[in-house]
Every structure is written in structure tokens, then in C-alpha cells.
């Protein structure tokens, strides 16, 4: 996708419209889902607790419900991550974004990361649910990012994702480009964390991102509209 030629509809369809705040209420989720329906976003990105509510609110629409698993630290066991994944799917989640165990990457335990990815991807794909793997790039070196992406190229989750948005920093153009160059067309890339305006979003798209995780979807679309209006 090229940010210079993308249409408004295509852009909106890339957004995982996000509310992962600890203090989010049912009223917030009603608003989140209404915005997603009105604008044609890809998904609402939420914690597992409100999955049933959001699935009911979005019933009959093309907007997916996505659950964040082992969020935001990734420090639960693989067994717990699989169980949480399966429960979220049972509750109505159509996409899963799980956080890797970053500590394993820092220790070079890529065998454990591969096993974790295989088990969670299988739990998703056997239930016809999309699987996204959150790297949390702010804690990783380029070489660690590359090695985890190589595992993903082998295991084939649907997406690899930069960040939770709760780390020390979020997505970077350099990391998105590195992830995309490593996986090629085998796996898609989702950029998330700190994407709050059209210029930043456009840079992520041009680097290879095919999904954008953001709580600033409306602001980004407004910026897109302003830029296109100036060009006309």
C-alpha cells in the first residue's frame, strides 16, 4: 500500500480501533464500537473482559473484535496464554493479539518463543481466528527483532506487531521496515504504539504496515482529509 494513493476507505479499513485502558467502561466500549461501525474500521482492539459485549454490539457488521492476550507484559506461561486465547475466542474474539515473552528473546531462548508462537497460532487458526504476535520492539535489538520475525516467517501467524503501546516507546519506521523485509509476503506487519497523526501513520504504511493499531483513528482520518483537500 502507498500512502500517496490510498483511499479514505482503504485507510479506515486498516485501523484496529483501540481502547486497552484499565479504567475503560461499558460506555467507552459502546462508543468504540459505534465509531468502528460508522467509519468502517477493521477491528476494535480490547482486553478480553469486554469481548462478549463488543461482539454483541458489532453483530452483523464486518468489524472484527480483537482480544489482547497476556497484555501488556507477556509474562504469563504459554499454557495460560493458550487458555486465555481459547476463552477469548469462545467469548467471540475474531482476532488475537498476544504479547511474546520478551525475556526469552533477551536470553536467546528462541526455541521457547517458537513453541509459544506455534501453540498460540494453532489455537487461533484451528478456530478460524487471526493471530497477531506482539514483539514490544522498545526492548529488543534489531537482531532480536529479525530473529523473532524469522520464526514468524516459519510459523505463519497472520501478523507480527511492533508494540503494545504500554512500553517505553511504540512503533518506529525502522522497525516496521525491518520486520517487513524479514517476513516478506509470508506474514503481514501491524504498527502500533504512538501513531496519533496522519504523517506518522503514512510513514508506517510506506514502510510496510498493513494494519495500524491506534486510539487516534478519527484524528488520523481528519489529517488525511485535510491533506487531500489541500492537494485538490
Residue 180 bears catalytic tag: no
Pick the catalytic residue: 132, 180, 188, 190? 190
Residue 158 bears catalytic tag: no
Pick the catalytic residue: 16, 81, 97, 132? 97
What are the CA-CA distances from residue 226 to residues 47, 198, 204, 231 (Å)?
33, 10, 19, 9
Pick the catalytic residue: 81, 132, 161, 188? 161
DSSP string, the chain: --TTT--HHHHHTTEEEE---TT--HHHHHHHHHHHHHHT-SEEEE-STTHHHHHHHTTTSS-EEEEEESTTT--S-HHHHHHHHHHHHHHT-SEEEEE--HHHHHTT-HHHHHHHHHHHHHHHHTTT-EEEEE--GGG--HHHHHHHHHHHHHH--SEEE---SSSSS---HHHHHHHHHHHTTSSEEEEESS--SHHHHHHHHHHT-SEEEES-HHHHHHHHHHHHHHH-
Look at residues 158, 187, 135 and name the one whose alpha carbon lies nearest to residue 64.
158
Residue 52 bears catalytic tag: no
Question: Is omega for the bond preceding 28 within 30 degrees of 0, making it cis?
Answer: no
Which amino acids are annotated catalytic? 97, 161, 190
Amino acid at each position: 500500500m502507498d500512502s500517496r494513493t490510498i483511499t479514505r476507505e482503504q485507510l479506515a479499513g486498516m485501523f484496529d480501533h483501540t481502547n486497552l485502558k484499565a479504567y475503560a467502561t461499558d460506555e467507552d466500549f459502546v462508543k468504540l464500537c459505534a465509531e468502528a461501525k460508522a467509519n468502517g474500521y477493521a477491528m476494535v482492539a480490547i482486553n478480553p473482559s469486554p469481548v462478549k459485549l463488543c461482539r454483541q454490539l458489532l453483530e452483523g457488521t464486518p468489524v472484527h473484535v480483537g482480544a489482547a492476550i497476556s497484555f501488556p507484559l507477556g509474562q504469563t506461561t504459554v499454557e495460560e496464554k493458550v487458555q486465555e486465547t481459547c476463552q477469548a475466542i469462545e467469548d467471540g474474539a475474531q482476532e488475537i493479539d498476544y504479547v511474546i515473552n520478551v525475556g526469552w528473546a533477551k536470553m536467546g531462548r528462541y526455541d521457547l518463543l517458537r513453541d509459544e508462537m506455534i501453540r498460540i497460532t494453532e489455537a487461533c487458526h484451528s478456530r478460524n481466528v487471526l493471530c497477531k504476535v506482539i514483539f514490544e520492539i522498545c526492548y529488543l535489538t534489531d537482531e532480536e527483532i529479525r530473529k523473532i520475525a524469522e520464526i514468524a516467517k516459519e510459523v505463519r501467524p497472520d501478523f507480527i506487531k511492533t508494540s503494545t503501546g504500554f512500553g517505553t516507546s511504540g512503533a518506529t519506521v525502522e522497525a516496521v521496515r525491518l520486520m517487513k523485509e524479514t517476513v516478506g509476503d509470508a506474514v503481514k506487519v501491524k504498527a502500533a504504539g504512538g501513531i496519533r497523526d496522519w504523517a506518522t501513520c503514512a510513514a508506517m504504511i510506506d514502510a510496510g504496515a498493513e494494519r495500524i493499531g491506534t486510539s487516534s483513528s478519527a484524528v488520523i482520518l481528519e489529517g488525511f482529509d485535510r491533506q487531500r483537500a489541500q492537494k485538490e
